[in-house]
Amino acid sequence: MSETNETDAVSTIITQDEARADTQQMNMIQAINSALDVMMDRDPDVVVMGEDVGYFGGVFRATAGLQQKYGKNRVFDTPITECGIIGVAVGMGAYGLRPVPEIQFADYIYPALDQLVSEAARLRYRSAGEFISPMTVRSPFGGGIFGGQTHSQSPEGIFTHVSGVKTVIPSTPYDAKGLLIAAIEDNDPTIFFEPKRIYNGPFDGHYDTPAKSWAGHPDAQVPTGYYRIPLGKARTARAGGALTILCYGTMVHVVENTVAAMGVDAEIVDLRTLVPLDIEAIEESVRKTGRCLIVHEATRTSGFGAELLAQVQERCFYYLEAPIERVTGFDTPYPHSLEWAYFPGPVRIREAITKIMKD
């Protein structure tokens, strides 16, 4: 896609009201499947590839029905080799295709790091714009499903460190479809992490209560056709004036529930994309509230929350009325038997909010 076509694509963004004129209730899996279907129908250069994405339709069924509709040349299974999957996708992008490879779990993306970092992220720069790598790497990530240390990791911080790669994490079915379409249309490689704990419904952090579905949730009403949400634009999940909470993915819902239970006038900023980061929205919120809490499930040391903390400190220092706090995972492998001690749940979030509001 040329720069002109990128501009044309942006001009086709429709308003939220227009987009929701013809909607259908979807969970996040269905929204992702719909996004892939829409883009494969619109653009014959879009191809889907990965382990079990074809005949089986993916381990979480996100690609169900696509091979039957578009054929084995556009939706195909690969060998179990993440390095090979991404390496082939780099070549496809340079050739002119728009591959959407799936890494079955984010925990298995590490063998593909060399191709992602050394090849995909550098191709446009290294070739002076002659070649691009317009791939979108989809992968379920995060815990909350008793997946243990090899099916629960949140490695987003690794990719936000790499120049040339965009990192996207939706928190609702509506955002998942709009952001995935925008990522597929983008000319740069994008890591699209899907919080698997909220595939089928929002999670309030209380693991010992019945699971909820997306049924009846306003953000589960998803347009059946094409729409896109620009990368780099955060959304205000909850307006407030006493405290800013920065979060993304599953944590948006855990934070919303905790804040509602506490009765705190907190503003919740759902980042949506980590790179590019909507620093203007963050800065505006923190300057208004004077307090900031950062919540993410990834490990604490060098997690993306550290970058957020630095950005807020640099830009909003004279507006802060209390030290910035972080609630994160711990610097250990994700424990199976102690999952809910590791998971940043309502208890730890409530303690952090109480501490900030006292200062």
My answer on whether 117 and 44 are in the same domain is: yes
My answer on whether 177 and 57 are in the same domain is: yes
**pTM score of the predicted model:** 0.94
133: pLDDT strictly greater than 50: yes
My answer on whether 78 and 138 are in the same domain is: yes
pLDDT at residue 12 in the model = 44
My answer on whether 97 and 190 are in the same domain is: yes
Q: What is the mean pLDDT of the chain?
A: 94
In a domain, 2, yes or no: no
Residues noted as catalytic: 151
Domains contained in the chain, number: 2
Burial 208-222 (b: 16+ CB within 10 A, else e): eeeeeebeebebbbb
Q: What is the pLDDT of residues 193-236, one digit of tens each?
A: 999 999 999 999 999 999 999 999 999 999 999 999 999 999 99
My answer on whether 211 and 271 are in the same domain is: no
**Which domain does 335 fall in, by range?**
235-357
**CB of 237 closer than 8 Å to CB of 252:** yes
Q: What is the pLDDT of residues 280-297, one digit of tens each?
A: 999 999 999 999 999 999
How far, CA to CA in Å, does 307 sit from each of 108, 289, 294?
24, 20, 10
My answer on whether 260 and 208 are in the same domain is: no
The position carrying tokens 């004279």 is 318
